[in-house]
Copies of this chain bind each other. A is one copy, B any other.
Amino acid sequence: MIEDKNQERTDLSQLGEFGLIDHLTKHFEIKQESTIKGIGDDAAVLEFKDKQVVVTTDLLVEGVHFDLSYMPLKHLGYKAVIVNLSDVFAMNADATQITVSIAMSNRFPLEAIEELYAGIETAAKLYGVDVIGGDTTSSTTGLLISVTAIGTVSKEDVVLRNGAKPNDLLVVTGDIGSAYMGLQVLEREKEVFKVNPNSQPDLEPYTYIIERQLKPEARQDIVKLLKELEVKPTSMIDISDGLSSEIIHLCKQSKVGCDLYENKIPLDPQLISTCEEFDIDATTVALSGGEDYELLFTISQDDFPKIKANPNLTVIGFMTEEHAGMHLVTRAETKIPLKAQGWNALNDQTNQES
């Protein structure tokens, strides 16, 4: 959090709108066969042949979704792409193209926007998606990024939220809750920095959970893995708002109930120790934290043998009849109703407890 006062600073107005777009997008390469024409016309031209096409869009707003005092611009550009690709993968689709629109105030010099685009480019390259368009404009105050992601999937492979059946197993990828606690650590260090700008924070005990917040990944690997394992989920969603909220979406849209086992929820050891330090319940964080960008899906019990050996996949519960309701089965083996608390409820708890 130490600023380099000797940074180069090029004013955006020197380039003009078209100059700026040319400057920022000249490195972008077209790699997808389905991209016929990328940036540079009134619209991009794509060709998907017999594939189905999925489209999703997300806005990230300064002061709402990110805080530039601890989110480096390159990471922000990266994350803006990831949160959209995650939605594509949640359809069991391959991501193919993105458009990126940015509104930014004049307080950002060209070098700052280059950092942002460097993050966008890094994510696009790593995930093999083409940047095919966008818009760059000024804003009266903050920074805002709007990404639309496009993907393709064979008609028979697409997975919606509404296909779960009673007795299906509920499966989650990776581990849950870390991104939220990473944010809590960053928020705490920001407060410390405000009081004493010379303090040097020791973030070593939090590297994993901070990375989960600042540089999340989208589970492209899971879409491939499921194909290799010959498992087609019956329903799927990505975890952006917290596990319980996403489970409720699957249940409501599939018209089923669910038993979720607290002791099965995959938690990273760093998350557990940080929750202890903050005196906050790790299960509550996993249920309501959000921003994990893991995938949550249901499979037929017949498919269990295919997934059981895989360390990326954890069975955390099973679906029930709709009238049975949605429940968390606690470690003490009591059943409590599952609620979509979301961040607000969690913030209340954090405020009360810490």
Contact = CB atoms under 8 A, between A and B. Distances in A.
A316 interface: no
B57 A148 contact: yes
A59 B138 contact: no
Contact of A140 (B63, B135, B236): B63
A142 interface: yes
Contact of A64 (B41, B102, B138): B138
Interface stretch (A3-11, A48-56, A265-273): A48-56
A253 B40 contact: yes
Interface residues of A, number: 62
Contacts of A40: 161, 253
Interface in A76-115: 87-88, 90-91, 93, 97, 99, 101-103
A111 B250 CA distance: 30
Contacts of A321: none
B138 A61 contact: yes
Report which residue of A57, A90, A133, A253 has the largest number of chain B beta carbons within 10 angstroms of its beta carbon: A57
A300 interface: no
Interface stretch (A150-158, A175-183, A192-200, A322-330): A150-158
Nearest to A238: B42
A48 B42 contact: no
B99 A59 contact: no
A57 B55 CA distance: 13
A2 to B, nearest CB: 26
Q: What is the copy number of this chain in the assembly?
A: 2
A136 to B, nearest CB: 8
Given A63-B140, A138-B61, A45 B53 contact: yes
A137 interface: yes
Contacts of A64: 103, 137-140
Contacts of A103: 59, 61, 64, 144
B52 A47 contact: yes
A167 interface: no
Contacts of A237: 42
A61 B140 contact: yes
B42 A150 contact: no
A43 B151 contact: yes
Nearest to A48: B48
Interface string A289-305: 00000000000000000
A230 interface: no
A146 interface: yes
A141 interface: yes
Contacts of A36: 52
Contacts of A90: 42-43
A291 B144 CA distance: 23
A315 interface: no
Contacts of A102: 59
A44 B90 CA distance: 11
